Amino acid sequence: MLKLDSRDPGFQEAWARVCARGSDEDEAPVREAAATIVADVRARGDLALLEHTRRHDAWDPGSAAGLALGPADFAAAYRGLPAAARRALSLAARRIADFHRRETDARVPARRDAAGATLSQVVRPLERVGLYVPGGTARYPSSVLMTAVPARVAGVREIVVTSPGVKGSGEMDRWTLAACHVAGVARLFKVGGAQAVAALAYGTATVPAVDKICGPGNAYVAAAKRLVFGRVDIDMIAGPSEILVLADAAADPAEVASDLLAQAEHDVRAVSVLVTPSAALARAALAAVERQLADLPRREIAGRSIEERGAVVVTRGLSEAVRLADAFAPEHLALHARGAAGLVKRISRAGAVFVGSSTPEAVGDYLAGPSHVLPTAGTARFASPLSVATFRRRMSVLDLTPAALAALAPSVEALARAEGLEGHWRAVEVRVAKRASARARRVAPAKAKAAGASGAPRARAAAGGARR
């Protein structure tokens, strides 16, 4: 584990390297392999899906129909779980839905401005979304809930999932299927990797094309999402999981260590960082990590992650620790410090913040409420967690009266001609001229009538004078 002290002369350079972590699995060979698979699925559809499933997942679906599961399969898996498992899934789904229903969309209410233009912005759900759920060697029912439930709350009409079956058999984990039942998933396709992303983007005879692909995956999935972006939308490019724990001298070393290891056990490439102004806490937390690793079932994975990708930083004080945490822009930020709630206002760049020792990141992974799909690799500088907004699009609505168009026309003319786009101005001019012409036609008879009415008495008076 890398050990740094902000007082050391070479600290800034070393800290910059820590902050530069990312999904560097996605190197040229991965990109090239993913591109080949995506092109193959785009060209050959189901035939390519079957071939890549046999090659990469080591099982034979027989036909494309063998890749698909539906609501009856989901319900059967749900009924087959113990009661405690069903309660846990239902509780998680309910809490996730309750949280995301409180989201406020970026609607702009209709308002008529001084010129007479009525302007608004409305929000509409996407029609169909595809969710990638990792599988094969592990189960992630929580990923189903954390993506499908916000999509359902958003009003998405059809939610489909792709997830690789168990390597060598193609069996699908009951927990994952039961989560599909609870979350309202329409169909699940037992396909993984770049081929699943390609199928969702371009569609096959069996897998429908979607409007957006969401959910984390391995380097091949990330590379494929990059390749199909533009054909479909994507949520983000997810890298290895990460956590930054900010702790002061009063923090419990065992709790700090448990948060670091909870991330490290995900993957050997997971990133776990401790930043603290207390050298004593740093030493105690590292010792606690070693003790807890000893009987951790995934100790080989977690141990490699801590050793190769972990870091502990001792700072000059808490203020510097907060600044470093914000610069790191972590996926998960755990605040183990006195007055932790007060530190939140000093943080602007993190996927999710876990406040105080009673809020372990693990609760956020499963059922706290906010989606656990978060920006990684420093992208929290500009990206946001998956939410209801992920599954909706905004649409502007403009409604001008003829008078409003006439009032704005001179400025449109000036701007259009400044940009050399005469056609833009003519599209306005033809309407303004039409209105002016119609108005002139309405006004002319009225003026003639008025003129005639005012001239008649004079004529009569002149005639009368002549008679006299």
Reading the block at residue 398, the tokens are 């403009």
User: Is 121 known to sit in a ligand binding site?
Assistant: no
**Between the CA of residue 272 and those of 64, 91, 117, 336, what are the distances in Å?**
41, 29, 53, 15
69 forms beta bridges with 188
Reading the block at residue 373, the tokens are 């799909």
User: Is 365 known to sit in a ligand binding site?
Assistant: yes
User: Is 127 known to sit in a ligand binding site?
Assistant: no
Residues with active-site annotation: 331-332
CB atoms within 10 A of CB 123: 16
User: Is 158 known to sit in a ligand binding site?
Assistant: no
Geometric angle at alpha carbon 410, from 409 and 411, rounded to 5°: 90
Reading the block at residue 262, the tokens are 């909870």
User: Is 100 known to sit in a ligand binding site?
Assistant: no
User: Is 181 known to sit in a ligand binding site?
Assistant: no
How is the beta sheet containing 212-214 ordered, strand by strand? Answer: 68-69, 187-189, 158-162, 128-132, 212-214, 233-234
Radius of gyration for the alpha carbons in the chain, expressed in angstroms and rounded: 31
Query: Contact 352/371 with Cβ under 8 angstroms?
Result: no
83-101 and 174-183 helices cross at what angle (nearest 10)? 40
User: Is 372 known to sit in a ligand binding site?
Assistant: no
User: Is 387 known to sit in a ligand binding site?
Assistant: no
Reading the block at residue 392, the tokens are 């909706």
Which parts are annotated binding residues for Zn(2+)? 263, 266, 365, 424
Which parts are annotated binding residues for substrate? 241, 263, 266, 332, 365, 419, 424
Which parts are annotated binding residues? 132, 195, 218, 241, 263, 266, 332, 365, 419, 424
